[in-house]
Chains A and B, each alone.
Chain A
C-alpha cells in the first residue's frame, strides 16, 4: 500500500467515524426530545394545577 492509499484510507475511516457519531447524536437527540422526563412531568403537573386554580376561581354563585 502506498502512502497516498494509506492517507485516503485514514481519511475514509475518519469520515465514517464522524458519520456514525453524528447519527448516534441524532438518534439520542430524538429520544431525549420526546422522552417523558422528570422535567416534563413537573411542567405538565404545574400546568394541570394552574388549570385547576382557574376552575376554582370561576364564579359559581
Chain B
C-alpha cells in the first residue's frame, strides 16, 4: 500500500466521520428549532384568539357563558404554558431534543382545547349573527 493510498483512506474515513457527526447535529438542531416554532405558534394562536374573544365579547357577539369558558381556559393555559416554556428552555440548554418534544407535548392537550375557541371566534359572522 502506497503512502497515497493510506492518505486517501484516512481522508475518506475522516470525511465520513465528519458527515455522520454533521448529520446527527443537524437532527438535534432541527428538532429543537421545531419545538421552538411549535411553542411560538401555540402562543401566537392563544394571543390572537384571546384578543378576538375579548373583542367579540365586548361587542356582544360572544355570550357571557362562552366568555367565562374562555377565561377559565385562559387562566389554566397561563398556568401550564410557563411550566412548559421552562421545560423547553431547560431542554434547549441541555441540547436535548427528546426533552424538548416532551415540553411541547404538554401543550398538545391545551392546543386541542384552544382550537375549539379559535373555531368559535372564526365562525362568528361579521354581523355577529344578530340579524
What is A's interface to B at a CB cutoff of 8 Å?
Answer: 20, 23-24, 27-28, 30-31, 34-36, 40-41, 44-45, 47-52, 54-61
Contacts and interface: CB of A to CB of B under 8 A. Distances in A.
Interface in B33-59: 33, 36, 39-40, 42-44, 46-47, 50-51, 53-54
Q: Lowest 5 A-B CB distances belong to which pairs?
A: A60-B74, A34-B26, A51-B43, A58-B50, A31-B22
A60 B47 contact: no
Interface residues of B, number: 39
B25 A52 contact: no
Tell me whether chain B's interface is mostly helix, strand or loop, or mixed.
Answer: helix
Contacts of A58: 46-47, 50-51, 74, 78
Contact of B22 (A20, A27, A52, A57): A27
Given A44-B33, A45-B89, A51-B85, A59 B53 contact: yes
B71 interface: yes
A24 B33 CA distance: 26
Q: Main SS of chain A's interface residues?
A: helix
A31 B54 CA distance: 47
Contacts of A41: 92-93, 95
Interface in B79-125: 81-82, 85, 88-89, 92-93, 95
B63 interface: no
A40 B36 CA distance: 11
